[in-house]
Amino acid sequence: MINFIFGIHNHQPLGNFGWVFEDAYNRSYRPFMEILEEFPSMKVAVHFSGPLLEWINENHPEYIELLRRLVKRGQLEIVVAGFYEPVLAAIPKEDRIEQIKLLKEFAKKLGYDAKGVWLTERVWQPELVKTLRESGIEYVIVDDYHFMSAGLSKEELYWPYYTEDSGEVIAVFPIDEKLRYLIPFRPVEKTIEYLESLADNDPSKVAVFHDDGEKFGVWPGTYEWVYKKGWLREFFDAITSNEKINLMLYSEYLSKFTPKGLVYLPIASYFEMSEWSLPAKQAKLFVEFVEKLKKRGEFERYRVFVRGGIWKNFFYKYPESNFMHKRMLYVSKLVRNIPKARKYVFKAQCNDAYWHGVFGGVYLPHLRRAVWENIIRAQSFVFTGNKVFDVDFDGKNEIMLENESFIATIKPHYGGSIFELSSKRKAVNYNDVLARRWEHYHEVPEAATPEEEGNEEGVASIHELGKKIPEEIKRELAYDWQLRAILQDHFIPTTETLDTYRLVKYHELGDFVNQPYEFELYDSGVKLWRNGGIYVEKKVPAKVEKRIELTNDGFLAKYKVSLGEPYKALFGVEVNLAVHSVMESPEEFEADRILVNDTYGIGKVEIGLDRRVRVWKFPIKTLSQSESGWDFIQQGVSYTLLFPIEKELEFEIKFKEL
Ligand code: CA
């Protein structure tokens, strides 16, 4: 006999498009539960995330009734998490408790008193034990990989264990990785064979499957396979009619058996996450290492000792994500005693926009926008005015300017540029623009073919899809040397062109873009300046001074630029805006007023100048992988205002929200 627990986790990111919700609902969430209702002896543990539940509640209330019926019939065990699907380890403990409480309340409405936690992205951190216990949680589900990282062997992982922290214990169920690769991608009998092979005389032995519900219909090819070819019905039928398999739910298991013993788990997530969370260079080495072990036939034997990075280091890998995360933490503290504002903080904690693996994540502008929208809405409850502090914990102070309409965060140590320009009226951060960067999977090794069961019958899982960058993308692909902000100060040779500039094949003469500026706050704004240089045959001293003042509808920047001796160059002020309306090709033109009309993004804004200048305008497009292949996504649009300089220059830029 072997006990078997079958669980799924259904989630759509906050900010995802309505049609994505609808499509996933029709391809997976709805048919899955409808078929479950046909098999009264089938039981499933299920987690629904808050953003998805709120959408369902609004668009398909009949589905909530279906869930209620299934709970009543004992076919569903509801497993919770933080309501808006945060990575629990990445949010303050006060917020963890409140978020879990919110989802427990929802489960109660479905008729279920939830005691278990689906650990979002399975990001484990030992100190979670205490918060989970405080939230009335008795068990948590993680990967067998976590246990193997702790030194346990695979044979020991067909039981839950206790883990302890600060004198509190909690039961932990290991998810069987083998089942994650079999279900639903391989024929049903493969799973049955595997489960049967585990059966022995120990009545407490249990195999756990718990994975994304989207694998049942949303992932490429799976709708056809799972529903049209009848995989799910066949599976439910086979599981419920097999005498060697005893289907169970988590709570049922824990009412019959106690966990096998005590283990301590390291900070970990699933195996693939340990690859993704590494900085790109190291991730490439990691993949090489794994490939080497596989070629030598040694991977299975030594894999428990193979570990990459940890989830939280996405904040190291993507500074834009870190900045967003630390802004969220700042607001979380700021509004902790304002329940109305806290709801927005919880939404801003939704994990998807903060990282990147096989889904777009941080690369998806609409997901980041949803996070920023909620950070801004939450902060709008409290007015703090101008201040100087280290927002993103990098050891260097930022300047946060605030008036009735805007919050602007300036990094004096990084070009004195604006890294956040948040409009309270529109709840949008105009500078939510991701830089173009190299990812380790941009170089695909020749022999990147599906391994192990790749040639068997079934449907390819995401990890097996072959990839090669199309030529038309390669031509336009460029990697930035700088983060993208507003008011980045360039010195450019007069011979450079829009193409060399946007494809990062130009020569930057100055040392201003990512270098420190000194600053001084005054009543209505901040003065920033840098004594730097332009580097030609010899260094020509150069000074850039800018005064930035927030206005009711944007900001005003007053520039003074001077060279120590005459030199002919272009002084370029770059303004990166989170414009999403697709820009087909780069543009060069002259103007004294640039009108931006971005219907689905930042809306209407205007950049006004006190003279006519040449403008280089181009879309910033990043290359990332997704479940369907390559995404070449417009993160925003760069506008560079070009001022000829020989010795001295003074001008003004006015940014206006319309
Ligand atoms: Ca800082």
**Model pLDDT for residues 33-49, shown as the tens digit of each residue:** 999 999 999 999 999 99
pLDDT for position 447: 46
Which one-letter DSSP state was computed for residue 313?
G
Tell me, yes or no, whether 257 and 388 share the same domain: no
Burial class (CB in 10 A: 0-12, 13-18, 19+), 184: buried
Residue at token pair 């059966």: 199
Q: What's the whole-number mean pLDDT along residues 220-236?
A: 96
Q: Is the pLDDT of residue 454 over 50?
A: no
Please identify which of the residues 212, 453, 511, 553 carries the catalytic annotation: 212
Q: What's the whole-number mean pLDDT along residues 631-649?
A: 97
Confidence label for 230 from pLDDT (cuts 50, 70 and 90): very high
Rounded Cα gap, residues 352 and 49, in angstroms: 12
Rounded Cα gap, residues 323 and 179, in angstroms: 37
pLDDT for position 468: 81
Q: Is the pLDDT of residue 337 over 80?
A: yes
Q: What is the pLDDT of residues 249-299, one digit of tens each?
A: 999 999 999 999 999 999 999 999 999 999 999 999 999 999 999 999 999
Tell me, yes or no, whether 38 and 174 share the same domain: yes
Please identify which of the residues 121, 211, 398, 598 carries the catalytic annotation: 121
pLDDT for position 451: 46
Structural domain contains residue 450: no
Of the candidate ranges 130-134, 457-461, 500-504, 625-629, the one whose mean pLDDT is the lowest: 457-461
Structural domain contains residue 76: yes
Residue 124: which residues within 8 A CB-CB, separation 6 or more?
89, 142, 146, 265, 266, 267, 268, 269
Active site residue 212: yes
pLDDT for position 452: 43
Q: Is the pLDDT of residue 137 over 90?
A: yes
Q: How far is the CA of 396 from the centre of ligand 1 (A)?
A: 4
pLDDT for position 445: 58
Q: How far is the CA of 320 from the centre of ligand 1 (A)?
A: 12
Q: What's the whole-number mean pLDDT along residues 322-332?
A: 98
Q: How far is the CA of 637 from the centre of ligand 1 (A)?
A: 25
Rounded Cα gap, residues 29 and 22, in angstroms: 10
Helix axes 61-72, 30-38, angle to 10 degrees: 30
Domain range for 185 is 2-269
Share above pLDDT 70 across residues of the chain, in percent, rounded to a whole number? 97
Structural domain contains residue 617: yes
Q: Is the pLDDT of residue 59 over 50?
A: yes
Q: What's the whole-number mean pLDDT along residues 484-490?
A: 98
pLDDT for position 450: 44
Q: How far is the CA of 82 from the centre of ligand 1 (A)?
A: 28
pLDDT for position 601: 87
What's the CATH code of the domain at 542?
2.70.98.10
Q: Is the pLDDT of residue 448 over 50?
A: no
Q: How far is the CA of 522 from the centre of ligand 1 (A)?
A: 20
Structural domain contains residue 213: yes
- Whole-number average pLDDT of the chain: 95
Q: How far is the CA of 346 from the centre of ligand 1 (A)?
A: 23
**Count of other CB atoms within 10 angstroms of residue 9:** 24
First to last CA, the chain: 68
Residue 315 tokens read as 């904040």
pLDDT for position 629: 86
Q: Report in angstroms the alpha-carbon separations of 197 from 159, 175, 225, 238, 352.
A: 16, 17, 25, 15, 37
Q: What is the pLDDT of residues 564-614, one digit of tens each?
A: 999 999 999 999 999 999 998 999 999 999 999 999 889 999 999 999 999
DSSP 250-299: HHHHHHH---S-B--PPSB--HHHHHHTS-HHHHHHHHHHHHHHHHTT-H
Q: How far is the CA of 52 from the centre of ligand 1 (A)?
A: 34
Boundary of a domain, candidates 241, 269, 297:
269
Largest CA distance in the chain: 89
Tell me, yes or no, whether 76 and 213 share the same domain: yes
Q: How far is the CA of 425 from the centre of ligand 1 (A)?
A: 26
pLDDT for position 626: 86
Burial class (CB in 10 A: 0-12, 13-18, 19+), 257: middle
Tell me, yes or no, whether 399 and 262 share the same domain: no
Structural domain contains residue 129: yes
Structural domain contains residue 448: no
Q: What's the whole-number mean pLDDT along residues 372-379?
A: 98
Q: What's the whole-number mean pLDDT along residues 551-571?
A: 97
pLDDT for position 443: 84
Boundary of a domain, candidates 244, 269, 294:
269
Structural domain contains residue 191: yes
pLDDT for position 462: 54
Q: What's the whole-number mean pLDDT along residues 121-127?
A: 96
Q: What is the pLDDT of residues 138-189, one digit of tens each?
A: 999 999 999 999 999 999 999 999 999 999 999 999 999 999 999 999 999 9
Q: How far is the CA of 328 from the centre of ligand 1 (A)?
A: 14
pLDDT for position 573: 98
Q: What's the whole-number mean pLDDT along residues 472-481?
A: 95
Cis omega (within 30 of 0) on the bond before 31? no
Q: How far is the CA of 341 from the centre of ligand 1 (A)?
A: 25
Boundary of a domain, candidates 246, 269, 292:
269
What's the CATH code of the domain at 48?
3.20.110.20
pLDDT for position 422: 98
Rounded Cα gap, residues 315 and 345, in angstroms: 18
Confidence label for 379 from pLDDT (cuts 50, 70 and 90): very high
Q: What's the whole-number mean pLDDT along residues 9-24?
A: 96
How many domains are there within the chain? 2
Q: How far is the CA of 90 from the centre of ligand 1 (A)?
A: 18
Q: How far is the CA of 237 from the centre of ligand 1 (A)?
A: 57
Q: Is the pLDDT of residue 371 over 60?
A: yes
Structural domain contains residue 561: yes
Active site residue 592: no
Q: How far is the CA of 401 from the centre of ligand 1 (A)?
A: 14
